[in-house]
């Protein structure tokens, strides 16, 4: 497992390098390097030998408590191993090829709004995904087999309950912000901000959260992500927009949340498959918690306001904390998911989730997707999609076979608020600490209740450990209702 981990980290480094450091000429062989590492990892991990070693380790660890590191390692590894062996190598290769081809076709199809060129990409992915689903006949619904790769043990049925309630609760909030678009202005963030100063400012914001050059990096890229080569080597990436400050600040705080999760895993789990965040939804709960519950909160801007004014005396020297806080929280229904505000973001996800349900559990075909997409955007967000590039073609995910994945974002939003309510119960002075620039108690609470466990427990077990309860959208709706009320006025009931 240590060897597999080492190879996976080498693959992660190839990926990080490609996104941050590689000169363009490196692209010609990088694809082959990725494919080889992935194949070698799969061969070594999914081998008969690994199975024998798991059996032997299970015998040795049988008397250990279930929540011990070693018993957990054997338990989780056996499930990983079983899943890895259920999918034929040829199908994996076909899927990898379709991802690469899909990406290239998507780039040109999106640029040309060419629905016809993109349809075969989707059709190919849907065919391959159905074969993949066929490898897991025990799934209650076909889509569950896809989702299980991201949130092991969770199902469409559970997501549906949460999302139906979320959709219902968000409807009046969307109306409230759409009715009053001028209530909040982000004009102060729309000035010229030199990238070097943005970088210094972003570092000044996340350093008290736990960023240090001893164990972290922060580099610019096109599509920000966080990657850890070990809990003491965490690589954040972000992007800066010279003429708008909010994007870079939000991206950096978001990735810092991911990074803190990776940095907080029990060091005893290093070089094992347990040494990373539990699931995508739980990971997103951390990025959204630090980006929004902390970074977009009024107390935080008591601390952050002076830092921004110090780094941008010309642009922001006379802008007060309140104005900055409001600017960071401007909301408006819009077309592009990655630019969406806190209220509308989850609705973008629900559109994708419901379409995937209709595809895999119903009869929706690739040809039906564009119109079905536009209808849902109209219904949930009240906006018309002017072209496919701003509609169903906007994300790279479906183009590269990423089905069963989107819900994790909205689940992360829901969980972030559940965790926050529990945190406030345990640490009532948290808002004052944040206003005073004191983040260690928050970070340590998260480490203690979530980060240190890594992948030892299932997502549902982990959700219970960190929230004390089950998945529940009510805290998130309470949080958003309060925020919308404060900034945009009380929603009509």
Catalytic residue numbers?
255
- Whether residue 435 contacts residue 206, with contact meaning beta carbons closer than 8 Å, is answered with no
Q: Which of 364, 363, 366, 385 is nearest to 374 (CA)?
A: 385
Per-residue burial over 377-413, b = 16 or more CB atoms within 10 Å of its CB, e = otherwise:
beebbebebeebbbbbbbbeebbbbbbbbbbbbbbbb
Q: Which is nearer to a second copy, 1 or 399 (CB)?
A: 1
DSSP reduced 3-state for 336: coil
Question: Nearer to a second copy by C-beta: 245 or 275?
Answer: 275
DSSP strand pairing (216-220 vs 233-238): parallel
- Token pair belonging to 143: 């889509």
Residue-by-residue DSSP string for 250-318: HHHHHHHHHHHHHHTS-GGGTTSTTSS-S-HHHHHHHHHIIIIIITTSHHHHHHHHHHHHHH-HHHHTT
How far apart are the C-alpha atoms of 306 and 78, rounded to whole Å?
A: 51
Contact residues: a second copy, CB under 8 A: 2-3, 6-7, 9-11, 13-14, 17, 21-26, 28-30, 32-33, 35-37, 39-40, 44, 213-217, 229-230, 232-234, 270-271
d(CA 101, CA 97): 6
* 233-238 β-sheet, strand order: 216-220, 233-238, 226-230
Consecutive H or E run containing 219: strand 216-220
Residue 278 has which token pair?
């539990």
The nearer residue to a second copy, 63 or 213, going by C-beta atoms, is 213
The pairing of beta strand 226-230 with beta strand 233-238: antiparallel
CB neighbour class for 32 (10 Å; exposed up to 12, middle 13-18, buried from 19): exposed
Least separation in angstroms between residue 132's CB and a second copy is 25
Nearest distance in Å: CB 38, a second copy: 10
Q: How many CB atoms neighbour CB 49 within 10 A?
A: 10
* DSSP-derived secondary structure letter, 68: S
Distance CA 164, CA 209 (A): 35
Nearer of residues 48 and 182 to a second copy, judged by Cβ: 48
Q: Is 119 left (phi over 0), alpha (psi -120 to 50) or beta?
A: alpha
Contact in structure between 110 and 489 (CB atoms under 8 Å)? no
| Contact (Cβ atoms closer than 8 angstroms) between residue 461 and residue 151 | no
| Least Å from the CB of residue 260 to a second copy | 14
């Amino acid at each position: 497992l240590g060897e597999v981990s080492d190879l996976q980290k080498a693959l992660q480094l190839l990926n990080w390098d490609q996104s941050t450091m590689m000169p363009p000429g490196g692209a010609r062989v990088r694809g082959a390097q990725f494919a080889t590492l992935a194949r070698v990892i799969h061969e070594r991990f999914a081998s008969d030998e690994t199975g024998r070693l798991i059996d032997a380790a299970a015998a040795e660890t049988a008397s250990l408590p279930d929540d011990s590191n070693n018993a957990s390692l054997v338990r989780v590894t056996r499930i990983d191993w079983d899943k890895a062996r259920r999918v034929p190598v040829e199908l994996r290769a076909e899927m990898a090829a379709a991802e690469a081809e899909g990406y290239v076709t998507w780039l040109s199809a999106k640029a040309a709004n060419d629905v016809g060129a993109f349809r075969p990409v989707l059709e190919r992915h849907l065919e391959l995904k159905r074969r993949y689903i066929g490898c897991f006949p025990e799934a209650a619904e076909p889509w569950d087999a896809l989702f299980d790769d991201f949130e092991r043990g969770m199902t469409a049925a559970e997501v549906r309950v949460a999302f139906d309630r979320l959709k219902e609760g968000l409807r009046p909030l969307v109306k409230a912000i759409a009715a009053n678009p001028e209530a909040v202005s982000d004009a102060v963030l729309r000035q010229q901000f030199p990238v070097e100063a943005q970088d210094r400012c972003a570092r000044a914001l996340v350093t008290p959260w736990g960023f240090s050059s001893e164990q972290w990096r922060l580099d610019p890229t096109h599509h920000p992500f966080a990657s850890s080569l070990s809990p003491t080597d965490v690589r954040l990436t972000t992007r800066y927009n010279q003429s708008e400050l909010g994007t870079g600040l939000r991206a950096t705080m978001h990735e810092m949340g991911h990074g803190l999760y990776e940095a907080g895993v029990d060091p005893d789990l290093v070089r094992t498959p347990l040494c990373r965040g539990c699931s995508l939804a739980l990971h997103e709960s951390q990025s959204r918690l630090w980006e929004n519950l902390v970074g977009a909160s009024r107390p935080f801007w008591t601390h952050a306001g002076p830092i921004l004014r110090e780094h941008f005396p010309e642009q922001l020297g006379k802008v007060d904390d309140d104005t900055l806080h409001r600017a960071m929280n401007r909301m408006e229904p819009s077309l592009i998911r990655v630019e969406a505000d806190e209220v509308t973001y989850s609705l973008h996800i629900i559109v994708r989730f419901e379409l995937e349900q209709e595809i895999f559990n119903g009869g929706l075909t690739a040809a039906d997707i564009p119109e079905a997409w536009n209808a849902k955007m109209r219904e949930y967000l009240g906006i018309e999609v002017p072209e496919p590039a701003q509609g169903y073609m906007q994300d790279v995910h479906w183009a590269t076979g990423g089905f069963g994945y989107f819900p994790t974002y909205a689940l992360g939003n829901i969980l972030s608020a559940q965790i926050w309510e529990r945190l406030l119960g345990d640490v009532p002075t948290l808002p004052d600490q944040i206003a005073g620039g004191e983040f260690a108690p928050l970070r340590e609470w998260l480490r203690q209740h979530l980060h240190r466990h890594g992948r030892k427990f299932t997502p549902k077990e982990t959700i219970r450990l960190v929230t004390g309860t089950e998945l529940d959208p009510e805290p998130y709706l309470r949080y958003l209702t309060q925020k919308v009320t404060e900034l945009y006025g009380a929603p009509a009931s």
